[in-house]
Amino acid sequence: MKYTLITGASSGIGFNLAHIFAKNNHNLILVARNKNALSHLKKKLGLLYKTDIKVISLDISGEIGAINLYKIIKKKTLKVDILINNAGIGYHGEFLEKNIQSDLDLINLNIITPTILTKLFLQDMIKVRSGKIFNIASTAAFQSGPLMSVYYGTKSYLLNFSEGIAEELRDSNIRVITLCPGPTKTTFEKMEGIEKGLFKNFHIADPEDVAKYLYQNIDTKKDVLIHGNLNKFIIFITKFIPRKINLNLIKKIQKKK
């Protein structure tokens, strides 16, 4: 039996991915820290769809968290056919306003965790010559972001990392795809007040729409998926704007109102 593994499944994009994949008869492994939210989600999906659902309540941040998740799944002898690295956090504000631990927490979950999970599950996929990995980045990956510098940096890493692996695997049956949504209504934006900056000035996508977009492109041949025509246009036009001007523009947009 094959499973789709979704991290950060208790809310936002991950929550909606769980619904869409279950609706389309995928067996699921749902991972998040919030045990109650996971239990509620499993119960709800179980009433709606006839699919096998496993939930793992675990802090997967950093090396130890990622490796522990992999060990748990291997111990249960569950075979992951699709990995969706969705878990992530972010904050809004000047770099010096946050303490070092805040930066490390962000880097651990946004970079270390998906890197390790990608490597571990990719090794298994290579053995069976089949599998897909979706890494959820952001349109922030295409530029630098004053007032969200670390967050933008982590998403740039994830995009470049994923594209590199996708090219390495070009002649195989395994796909590594990066999804880049724009501003999206998720939990961490509410927690960190990001809506006061960039998310206040632009249209905020519904996480359900982002999740649907990913599933609609489940068999895509593309390495990078950008959600929303406006986001695609902004990324395209940014290529023609001098970098210094673009940085200044982003800084103005993201300043708290």
What pLDDT shows up at residue 185?
A: 84
Write the DSSP string, 187-244. HHHHHHTGGGTHHHHSPPBPHHHHHHHHHHTTT---SEEE-SHHHHHHHHHHTTS-HH
Any residues with CB less than 8 A from the CB of 253 and at least 6 apart, and which? Answer: 197, 198, 201, 202
E strands in the chain: 2-7, 27-32, 53-57, 79-85, 131-136, 174-180, 224-226
Question: Mean pLDDT across the stretch 224-251?
Answer: 84
What is the count of structural domains for the chain? 1
d(CA 122, CA 196): 38
Direct distance between the N- and C-terminal alpha carbons of the chain, in angstroms, rounded to an integer: 51
pLDDT band at 200 (very low <50, low <70, confident <90, very high): low
Q: What angle do CA 211, 216, 222 make, to 5 degrees?
A: 105
pLDDT tens by residue, 30-54: 999 999 999 999 999 999 999 999 9
Which CATH number does the domain housing residue 163 bear? 3.40.50.720
| Residues of the domain holding 122 | 2-255
The model's pTM: 0.90
Least confident of 9-23, 79-93, 135-149: 135-149
pLDDT tens by residue, 146-196: 888 999 999 999 999 999 999 999 999 999 999 999 988 875 554 454 444
